[in-house]
Structure 1
Amino acid sequence: MIVENKPGAGATLGADLVAKSRADGHTLLVGAVHHTIAGAVYKKLPYDLQKDFAPLTTIALVPNVLVVSAASPAKTVAELAVLAKTAKPELSYGSNGNGTAQHLIGTQFENMIGANLLHIPYKGSGPLTTDLLGGQVTMGFDTITPVLQHIKAGKLRALAVTTGKRSSALPDVPTLAEAGLAGFDLGTWFGVLAPAATPKDVQAKLAGEMVKIIRSPEFKKRMDEIGAEPIGNTPDQMARQIRDDSEKYARLVKQAHVVIE
């Protein structure tokens, strides 16, 4: 396999490349939840995620985690909420950019705690994590993977995970729902899609072989190490996931008034 990284425009450049590729099963998109957000935040996209792609399988779910610096006085979500309502100037949260899952998780969080937060978009997890460690930004909602080592080292404090159930990588950390924000369930998934015109038998072959790998003990071990939960669902289940997330994030985008030209 050849991995071709195609960053830019919220990962939509890579998606557009695959959408227009030869539909023979040799060019695939490793997509993620942010592709379900793009249709709502960008005024115009050169492709339609639900029409131009055939979902194959979801690889894994990676919970996002609410973290603060170890020096923060907030030891719980409730304490952080109180600080957020009284702090002058307002507390800040970082994300991997405008219109990303982290951004929208942050807007949902501030709506549910009833406080205004300052959103600071970064160009990726690296610089965001650096500023979290240094205390330049109050909190972040990144996926577990880039911050797990710092949590284990005691340099960042995990207050809650954003998904509906706890993470196996941080079993002692509550969910936001358990911490008092009932119904909060947002996370980051990664999966594989093919151009929509890819022959059905090729789609079935690819999906079947991928699921075998995803459900293998070796793959699960690797996912456990980075705080991810292997999924390996069916194409129909992934398609339903994409539809549901597209609707959910469209509502959050509208509430937050996020638009990218």
Structure 2
Amino acid sequence: MLSKFKKQMWVAALCGAAGLAQAQAWPSKTITIVVPFPPGGTTDVLARAVSTKLSANLGQTVIVDNKPGAGATLGAAQVAKANADGYTLLMGAVHHTIATSVYKGLTYSFDKDFAPITTVALVPNVLVVNAKSPYNSVKDLVAAGKTTPDKLAYGSNGNGTAQHMIGTQFQIVSGAQVLHVPYKGSAPLTTDLLGGQVDMSFDTVTPVLPFIKEGKLKPLAVTTAKRSSALPNVPTLQEAGVPGIAIGTWFGLLAPAATPKDVVQKLNTEIVKIINTPDFKKQMLDIGAEPIGNKPDEMAKQIKEETEKFAGLVKAGKVTLD
């Protein structure tokens, strides 16, 4: 018979082996990246760029599931409640740090119910108008917004998104009055912008860049502190006469909070490896995105800082949604 000590050692060894086998078994089935916007927008483009390479690296299918609505909070709520096993991920964005202060009825906590994996990229936002628009500069828009209040309308990706907050701050700083028209994502917004249903948008560079190159949209200013490498000749809002606005849109992957740390770390390692490849970097730069690839704790710090920053802007703009 085994002594009590030997039995304990034997059980511990078995448990350790079982745990190791479980860790090595991941991933053993399809991984889903939930995108909280419709297909065609920057969030979707980045998720699909990552999913294709991640699938090849892990030897498992990685699919993208679009769940748009409520300023990106519907998709986030779905992932927050999903099994914390590493098979359901969220392509989150700066929008979620804003939603924390805007939506009073959220069923999840963005800082407590998610485990950050890595920030994939930062994409500048750009103020664009239809090519046929009579407005050729930021000063033209500001003047129109002051002389004919509520005549102008800007579209956003939804209430509580970065575009909404940029529009809010633009009005506070410039004194122009512009009607906010929320959409479910970049694709329907851009369609209406091209069709003349809205006058302007503060969308990310990625979905509007092709139309800028085709001469269908006019870029008037970028909303980041520095000019965009994709639009080097377009001034910042600061340079265009509207100071104090320095907002870009970051996108990153997160898992449900209780996801095993070894799985989160493996995801971080594999995704950062993808982000640092020359072809992925080129793919990002071609769509106006700046590749990042940070550590989980660095992304967590970023989320905390952004949440605090936008809480102040939401209060100043008196933006509240149920």
- 1:27-76 deviation digits (Å, cap 9, x = unpaired): 22111111111111111222111111111110011111101122223322
Distance 1:129 1:4, change over 3 A: closer
Distance 1:119 1:12, change over 3 A: closer
Post-superposition shift, 1:89? 5.6
Task: Say what the alpha-carbon RMSD is for the aligned residues.
Answer: 1.7
- 1:129-187 deviation digits (Å, cap 9, x = unpaired): 23322333221111112211111111111011111211111111111122222331112
How many matched pairs?
261
Q: Does 1:240 align with 2:301?
A: yes
Q: Does 1:124 align with 2:185?
A: yes
Once the two structures are overlaid, the 10-residue window that deviates more, 106-115 or 193-202, is 193-202
Q: Which residue of 2 aligns with 1:69?
A: 130
Distance 1:253 1:18, change over 3 A: same
Moved over 6 A (4+): none
Q: 3-state DSSP class of the match of 2:67?
A: coil
Partner Cα separation in structure 1 for residue 159 and residue 85 of structure 2: 34
Q: Does 1:109 align with 2:170?
A: yes
Q: 3-state DSSP class of the match of 1:132?
A: helix
Amino acid at match of 2:112: K
Q: Which residue of 1 aligns with 2:114?
A: 53
Amino acid at match of 1:191: G
Q: Which residue of 2 aligns with 1:175?
A: 236
Amino acid at match of 2:126: V
Unaligned runs of 5+ residues in structure 1 are none
Pair member with larger Rg: 2
Partner Cα separation in structure 2 for residue 133 and residue 226 of structure 1: 19
Post-superposition shift, 1:226? 1.4
Q: 3-state DSSP class of the match of 1:130?
A: helix
Q: Does 1:17 align with 2:117?
A: no
Q: Which residue of 1 aligns with 2:20?
A: none
Match 1:43 to one of 104, 126, 133: 104
Partner Cα separation in structure 2 for residue 127 and residue 197 of structure 1: 35
Distance 1:108 1:88, change over 3 A: closer
Q: 3-state DSSP class of the match of 2:127?
A: strand
Q: Which residue of 1 aligns with 2:280?
A: 219
Distance 1:5 1:89, change over 3 A: closer
Amino acid at match of 2:97: T
Q: Which residue of 2 aligns with 1:79?
A: 140
Q: Which residue of 1 aligns with 2:161?
A: 100
Partner Cα separation in structure 2 for residue 260 and residue 235 of structure 1: 30
Post-superposition shift, 1:241? 1.2
Post-superposition shift, 1:88? 5.9
Q: TM-score, normalization: structure 1?
A: 0.93
- Structure scoring higher RCO (CA < 8 A, sep ≥ 6) equals 1
Post-superposition shift, 1:12? 2.1
Amino acid at match of 1:242: I
Match 1:4 to one of 46, 60, 65: 65
Q: Percent identity?
A: 67
Amino acid at match of 2:131: A
Q: TM-score, normalization: structure 2?
A: 0.76
Partner Cα separation in structure 1 for residue 66 and residue 108 of structure 2: 19
Partner Cα separation in structure 2 for residue 53 and residue 119 of structure 1: 30
Distance 1:95 1:198, change over 3 A: same
Amino acid at match of 1:259: T
Q: Which residue of 2 aligns with 1:143?
A: 204
